[in-house]
């Protein structure tokens, strides 16, 4: 017998219309997330890819057809206004986050905003304030620190919460890439302060800071920093002339968590041979954890209570049903990839929308990261002097 | 301005209706492939998920809705007969492959069949014969050795073809899992000869054999083998009683490639701690390659021409635009997962359909693997004596 | 106050005079062992490097001075006859082992003989018989399977004995080198059957077999094998002419342990990029162990009783006081090297001499390995047919 | 024929009498170096282990007999005065380095001094001054930064010198241990400022700083630092009472090399699971290098000129004849251990003595490290503010 399933079965979840702004790298990754999430996870709401927005009419239309969005818009205000859009997903460069997010929240929409939350603390504060106000109206807002949704890092957070590392002494995060080693790489938007806010710091450092605070369960209270731009001029994207690079190539900073643990950070886009090397290590009184994004299905764990003769870092292949997010995926040993973090992000956000609960990371969390970024820049300008980070009462 | 993209844009590729039989683990993985492929790659035909087939009406209807198939069928003959199905994707246990595949081919449909191609050489021969006949009518048939589509192994094949390892001396494949270590794991279909054909041999060994022959570019001409079933009785799925396990837990065999290279194989489902540990190593006169499916974004390469002082196995992170399949995915270092092999398989199959070219691996390739499997079983029964493998003229 | 320590302090252990035959690679390694052992471990006897023996008077005298032997001999019979030699250490090619060892034992000396014990089973039987007779006179004889003395493999053996892997299912040993990839490598003694007995098989396979049997605690009862010589002619050492290679470049074999476990072996001297890659893996019902000689301070252990969410292979850095042989060495993390296996071998042999106990591995163990080697060669000659290995009652 | 080699052969090198102060961990390691070096390397002078010195007459006599020193002394001044001692090897805690080293140099002896050179910059300056004066008299003085002599790090230095990494952008050193995680570990001398100078900083950080400067070929010109003592009181060694820990458990600092490269450092003795984890990474415009002391026979190298499709970090097994120090050791793949660094140190020092050349690292190099250590402590006390390091004209 044949069954037509285009008519939704009665049990199908009510739809949640999503509108996305931006369709470059991040927009493509988010599209994968929205397209897949309901096919793998059981969700209380069924995400519908309502419309995507971009400035170039031809290009956005092509992108919509390619990525599976039902409609295309050229004005983000029109996107926000669409009645079939209940959630606005912001995948643009950082300089437009605040304006779009605040408008969407004020229009009664839920918001997912790519990281870093904004280019300045002031913008981030406005966004967090808008989110707080919207929260009272039942809306949710989440910032896209997607690496929290790597199963291995979600497991790391769970293990820290269970006390498996004891009292934390050290958090160590390096995030290294190498696409700027080549001095002929052009002066793209990510290399201009007015668009990107900062360089490796905002791009990679924002992830590093968020993960450190999230995994440790405590905010950073101060930092000491250095930043550097090794290649000071690069070819303009549209021709041979050189223009000034106005963001950092690399940033090094040490910090202190509210819990007393020491933290160290190094981010760079000129570390030859490192492609997406986000490495996180936690050392505590009861154990240690280590992670490398280039081997994202693995988490290393040392249990300090094990007899010395048998102790060692064990490589947990984070592909078991018992692991975060894995209940819906493949049998053990069949690893996931980078893009699955966006599927998981979509899952958690949809659940938060349905339940009316605050999603993590919230805009307040994003603001806190922004404050650390600002403190890093301030310390780097002031001879690396220790620079306190104001801590909001509602973060981490 | 707003654009509705539900009406396909003029440039959109003509559809290719897909009908899938089976919706368990493999069916879910294939569904991911069909759903994603056109959203990532530029294809000459646009796969449409027309219908899925399963025996339980309720379950198949739920699966269709969940996985994104437009219709559900309970009889595979009805699925084949559907005019909106041009390609039949067979994801059932091995005992039904031959019947479904031959019927689909005779009905003029293209076919994708999960591995191993069949449970016996006779079935595989019938299937290869049907594929040959269908080929003359412009149809294509492919067997689903999806690991060929791991970018790292596709790169390995390319490098072998480019002479980067020189004359091959050794091929070494181990494929280890551990889900049968537990003696209480029930007597599922994969543990019954009548459904599965064999145990670790057909399940894991088929992949191992296909990869060895594919990567080396030469068929196996003989084998010497041992097999073993360590746990001889297991609980029946529906209750506490024990039933006999009629397939192997593990198989060890050595072989010889037509090129003269030595090959060694070990497959097991009782290797504690190994989850999906498919490891491949090639040693040649000019270099060596090594791969581990548990780290599927990596390929290790030793270039024997490098000065001894600087030589060593290099870890190629197979995530560059220059790498097979990667032109459509993410920036360097942003790894893919297991399921992407099915996206790539779908891409290559769709292209073959559109171009009217023979896809790889063909049913003839699948038959060749089946002959090796049969020789392994024969050798194991005959005191491990060297057992020749007949080689078809049109394989590998 | 100043103390002269050249006069031994009263508590110093009585001396054990050692005479060594051969001073090439193995002789140098053994010299390191004899020179160091008493400086690190507390021993019941104090090894004295009495004399070294070689055929070239000039060369052996230079070697003695260099390596720290008090005297030099050119005739091994004279070495054996020296009253200051109580233990004869045989570091010559395999074709002379039997004659020297039997003579030394008959002369009342203890014997350490490099592996493989001999070039034929008949020689090995004579040696084992001589050792048995000598044993009755209080002498000891040990064969130099030094890798048993790698702390990590000694730990592996201990853990197997403690039941940490449960019932063994699989033993997997590969031992790969690459010095014969180059076709211009000359026809040295290791490539001539009359001197070396066999090629990779006796050189590397002997270690592999000994470790498999030792770690598993059970002898091999049968094998099925292939061997190959890829480069059939090589330049003679003394000039450009080519001579025939009469030993194997590589050997592949599968076997069965008396306990029922499956065993697989692959040894090669043409595996490009592998320098001394002895890899051992054991899979049992309770856990698994893995070792790689290129990372000899590490042992990987998977405990199958660990919760799935936290399980994984843990990298034990075998440098703790609790680990075998480590009580006398450095603090944790300060690794040992290859040559330390000879120090440990010397320690265990000296203790056996002092205690009058049978050392491990005994000549009977060496004979058992020889029987496996012979069975491998026989199977390879007979179409890989299963070839039983006679098991002595007193082995493993 | 028999040859007695106790009478040195005519060609034997003239002796170099060595006197060592201290015989604990470092003294034992140095003893291995002195005992072995002449047996492995061809040396212009033959080191003779003349005498060892310690305060406890019984213990030092036992140590001398055990470790192979010909005589024992209880007063280091007497040791220096011995006519059979030409080189004084100082293996005591840091608080006595200056006094002994200056006295030895003034007495006309060559000096090897363990690291860190001293506990204060003032002491180190006096030592460097004494070395400079002695240098004019033909004496040499070396500080024992033995890790420079790890073959892998010596290779790294050679490759940097050859331009294989291009212009250096980043140096990254972490040195982590975990023996102070246990709060019951007693208040040993290494935990008291008056004996050790500082904690992890002087113990581990001194190595880290020396390696960074040595590998980069440039001194540090400034630092910004944090230090911390997590466990502030520990049991006194002689009983249950608690005493104050007066040194750091961990230190984090960032720095800048004269060449413009950024440097980051983290050292800790409370990093659970890390035993002797000295990790070094260099990133330059042409390539990158990475090293981990827990795998000391390996060096990872990324050549940025390699085509992207084949590029990756290659694992160089540093055991080839072509590698530094390896010409005298074992065949490829037969790794060395920690203690071999002391053999190599002895080799290089003996050669410098014979040639009358300045050894590396000199006391001036040791002084430079001391200045960095002092700057780290100063910065840590002053809110992490950037603290310049004075650079001597004759360093690095």
Task: Give the predicted TM-score (pTM) of the model.
Answer: 0.96
C321 lies within 8 A of chain A by CB: yes
Contact D226 A256 (CB under 8 A): yes
From residue C125, how far is each of A7, C90, C130, C132, C364 by CA, in Å? 82, 17, 8, 10, 8
Chain D residue with the nearest C-alpha to that of B317:
D312
Chain B residue with the nearest C-alpha to that of C181:
B285
- pLDDT computed for residue A206 by the predictor: 97
CA distance B313 to chain C (A): 7
Query: Which subunits sit against D, judged by 3+ Cβ pairs under 8 A?
Result: A, B, C
CA distance A129 to chain B (A): 31
From residue D280, how far is each of A348, C330, D186, D202, D324 by CA, in Å? 39, 22, 30, 17, 18
Q: Which of A29, A69, A333 sits opposite B5 (nearest CB)?
A: A69
Dist CA B73 CA B22 (whole Å)? 10
Q: Is the pLDDT score of D6 beyond 90?
A: no
DSSP for B246-263, please give it. Answer: -S-SEEEEEEEETTS-EE
- pLDDT computed for residue C396 by the predictor: 46
CA distance D386 to chain C (A): 34
For C185-218, write each residue's pLDDT tens digit. Answer: 999 989 999 988 999 999 999 999 999 999 999 9
C330 lies within 8 A of chain D by CB: yes
CA distance A270 to chain B (A): 14
Chain C residue with the nearest C-alpha to that of B265:
C264
Residue in A133, A169, A173, A142 with CA at minimum distance from that of residue A362: A142
What number of H helices and E strands is found in chain A?
Answer: 11, 18
Give the strand pairing for B262-268 and B168-176: parallel
Contact A3 B32 (CB under 8 A): no
CB D113 within 8 A of CB D90: yes
Q: Which residue has the tokens 């029987």?
A: C371
The Cβ-side half-sphere exposure at A284, using a 13 Å CA radius, reads 24
Q: Is the pLDDT score of C224 beyond 60?
A: yes
pLDDT band, residue B396 (cuts 50/70/90): very low
Q: Which of residues 130-169 of B touch C (CB under 8 A)?
A: 165, 169
A294 lies within 8 A of chain B by CB: yes
| CB count in 10 Å sphere of residue D285 | 19
Phi and psi at residue B60, in whole multiples of 5°? -70, -30
Chains B & D: contacts with CB separation below 8 Å: 52
* HEC readout, C211-255: HHHHHHCCCEEEEEEEEECCCCEEECCCCCCEEECCCCCEEEEEE
CB C206 within 8 A of CB C369: yes
For B280-318, write each residue's pLDDT tens digit. Answer: 999 999 999 999 999 999 999 999 999 999 999 999 999
- pLDDT computed for residue B4 by the predictor: 58
Q: Residue D269: exposed, middle, or buried by beta-carbon count in 10 A (0-12, 13-18, 19+)?
A: buried
B312 lies within 8 A of chain C by CB: yes
Q: Is the pLDDT score of A321 beyond 80?
A: yes
Q: Is the pLDDT score of B380 beyond 50?
A: yes
Q: Which of C66, C331, C338 sits opposite D25 (nearest CB)?
A: C331
Contact A301 C311 (CB under 8 A): no
Helical pair B151-161 and B340-355, crossing angle rounded to 10 deg: 60
Contact D310 B307 (CB under 8 A): no
Q: Which of A12, A72, A293 sits opposite B5 (nearest CB)?
A: A72
Dist CA B189 CA B93 (whole Å)? 8
Dist CA C84 CA C69 (whole Å)? 12
Chain A residue with the nearest C-alpha to that of C152:
A309
Contact D302 A176 (CB under 8 A): no
| CB count in 10 Å sphere of residue C108 | 12
* Joined tokens for residue A278: 């986000």
pLDDT band, residue A1 (cuts 50/70/90): low
Query: What do you get for the CA distance between the two ends of chain D, in Å?
Result: 54
Residue in C116, C87, C152 with CA at minimum distance from that of residue C320: C152
Instruction: Please state the separation of Cα B124 from the chain's center in Å.
Output: 15
CB D39 within 8 A of CB C67: yes
Q: 3-class DSSP state for residue A283?
A: strand
For B303-360, write each residue's pLDDT tens digit. Answer: 999 999 999 999 999 999 999 999 999 999 999 999 999 999 999 999 999 999 999 9
Contact C179 D319 (CB under 8 A): no
For B20-78, write each residue's pLDDT tens digit. Answer: 999 999 999 999 999 999 999 999 999 999 999 999 999 999 999 999 999 999 999 99
Contact A71 B4 (CB under 8 A): yes
A305 lies within 8 A of chain C by CB: no
CB A270 within 8 A of CB A178: yes
Q: 3-class DSSP state for residue C24?
A: coil
Contact D301 B310 (CB under 8 A): yes
Q: Which of residues 218-247 of A touch B (CB under 8 A)?
A: none
Q: Which residue has the tokens 């031992």?
A: C175
Q: Which of A65, A73, A319 sits opposite B2 (nearest CB)?
A: A73
Q: What value of ipTM does the predicted structure carry?
A: 0.95
DSSP for B204-230, please give it. Answer: IIHHHHHHHHHHHTS-EEEEEEEEE-S
pLDDT band, residue B3 (cuts 50/70/90): low
**Which of B156, B314, B326 to probe by mutation at the D interface, max D CB count within 10 Å?**
B314
Contact D5 C319 (CB under 8 A): no
Q: Is the pLDDT score of C392 beyond 90?
A: no
- pLDDT computed for residue A8 by the predictor: 44
From residue C302, how far is each of A199, B271, C159, C312 by CA, in Å? 42, 10, 12, 6
CA distance B206 to chain D (A): 29
Q: Which of D308, D312, D323 sits opposite B314 (nearest CB)?
A: D312
Sign of torsion over alpha carbons D359, D361, D364, D367: negative
- pLDDT computed for residue C180 by the predictor: 97
Contact C271 B302 (CB under 8 A): no
Question: Which stretch of DSSP H or E encloses residue A171?
Answer: strand A168-176
- pLDDT computed for residue A10 by the predictor: 43
For A77-134, write each residue's pLDDT tens digit. Answer: 999 999 999 999 999 999 999 999 999 999 999 999 999 999 999 999 999 999 999 9
* Rounded mean pLDDT, D52-73: 97
For B160-186, write each residue's pLDDT tens digit. Answer: 999 999 999 999 999 999 999 999 999
Contacts A264 to D, Cβ<8 Å: 252, 264, 266
For C58-71, write each residue's pLDDT tens digit. Answer: 999 999 999 999 99
Burial track B216-236 (b if 16+ CB lie within 10 A, e otherwise): bebbbbbbbbbbbbbbeebee
Torsion angle in degrees (nearest 10) through CA of B352, B353, B354, B358: 40
Sign of torsion over alpha carbons B370, B375, B381, B384: negative
- pLDDT computed for residue A2 by the predictor: 62
Contact B39 A66 (CB under 8 A): yes
Burial track C118-133 (b if 16+ CB lie within 10 A, e otherwise): bbbbebbbbbbebbee
CB C320 within 8 A of CB C102: no
* Rounded mean pLDDT, C17-39: 97
Instruction: Please state the separation of Cα D284 from the chain's center in Å.
Output: 25
Chain C residue with the nearest C-alpha to that of D11:
C62
Q: Could you tell me how many residues make up chain A?
A: 396
Greater confidence (B346 vs D394) lies with B346
Q: Is the pLDDT score of D346 beyond 90?
A: yes
Share of chain A above pLDDT 90, in %: 93
Contacts D273 to A, Cβ<8 Å: 283, 287-288, 302, 304, 311-313
pLDDT band, residue A7 (cuts 50/70/90): very low
DSSP for D2-17, please give it. Answer: EEE-SSPPTTPPPEEE
Q: Which of residues 352-381 of A touch D (CB under 8 A)?
A: none
Q: Is the pLDDT score of D234 beyond 90?
A: yes
According to DSSP H, which parts of chain C are helical?
A: 25-40, 57-67, 76-81, 97-106, 121-136, 151-161, 193-196, 200, 206-216, 340-355, 363-381
Q: Is the pLDDT score of D5 beyond 60?
A: no
Dist CA A155 CA C84 (whole Å)? 65
Query: Which subunits sit against A, judged by 3+ Cβ pairs under 8 A?
Result: B, C, D
Q: What domains lie within chain B, and their CATH numbers?
A: 15-146 (3.40.50.720), 148-336+362-388 (3.30.360.10)
For D105-152, write each residue's pLDDT tens digit. Answer: 999 999 999 999 999 999 999 999 999 999 999 999 999 999 999 999
* Joined tokens for residue D268: 């800790």
For A236-253, write each residue's pLDDT tens digit. Answer: 988 779 999 999 999 999
Contacts B312 to D, Cβ<8 Å: 301, 314-317
* Rounded mean pLDDT, B235-261: 94
CB B294 within 8 A of CB B203: no
* Rounded mean pLDDT, D62-89: 97
């Amino acid at each position: 017998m044949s069954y037509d399933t285009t008519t939704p079965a009665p049990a199908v979840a009510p739809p949640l219309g999503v509108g996305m702004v931006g369709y470059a790298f991040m927009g493509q990754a988010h599209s994968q997330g929205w397209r897949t999430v309901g096919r793998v996870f059981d969700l209380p709401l069924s995400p519908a890819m309502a419309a995507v927005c971009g400035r170039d009419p031809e290009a956005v239309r092509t992108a919509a057809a390619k990525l599976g969005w039902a409609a295309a818009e050229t004005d983000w205000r029109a996107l926000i206004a669409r009645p079939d859009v209940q959630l606005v997903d912001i995948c643009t460069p950082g300089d437009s986050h605040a304006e779009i997010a605040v408008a969407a929240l004020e229009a009664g929409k839920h918001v997912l905003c790519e990281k870093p939350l904004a280019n300045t603390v002031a913008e981030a504060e406005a966004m967090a304030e808008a989110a707080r106000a919207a929260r009272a109206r039942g809306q949710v807002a989440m910032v896209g620190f997607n690496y929290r949704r790597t199963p291995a890092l979600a497991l790391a957070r769970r293990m820290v919460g269970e006390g498996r590392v004891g009292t934390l002494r050290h958090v160590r995060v390096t995030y290294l890439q190498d696409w700027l080693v080549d001095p002929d790489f052009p002066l793209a938007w990510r290399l201009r302060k007015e668009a990107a806010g900062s360089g490796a710091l905002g791009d990679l450092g924002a992830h590093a800071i968020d993960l450190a605070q999230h995994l440790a369960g405590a905010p950073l209270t101060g930092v000491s920093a250095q930043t550097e731009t090794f290649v000071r001029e690069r070819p303009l994207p549209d021709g041979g002339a050189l223009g000034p690079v106005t963001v950092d190539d690399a940033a090094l900073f040490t910090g202190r968590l509210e819990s007393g643990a020491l933290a160290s950070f190094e981010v760079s886009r000129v570390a030859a041979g490192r492609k997406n090397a986000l490495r996180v290590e936690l050392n505590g009184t009861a154990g240690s954890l280590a992670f490398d994004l280039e081997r994202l299905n693995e988490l290393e764990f040392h249990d300090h209570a094990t007899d010395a003769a048998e102790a060692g870092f064990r490589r947990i292949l984070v592909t078991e049903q018992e692991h975060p997010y894995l209940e819906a995926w493949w049998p053990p040993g069949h690893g996931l990839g980078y893009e699955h973090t966006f599927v998981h992000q979509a899952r958690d956000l949809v659940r938060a929308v349905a339940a009316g609960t605050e999603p993590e990371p919230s805009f307040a969390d994003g603001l806190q990261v922004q404050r650390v970024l600002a403190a890093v820049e301030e310390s780097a300008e002031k001879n690396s002097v220790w620079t306190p980070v104001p801590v909001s009462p509602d973060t981490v």
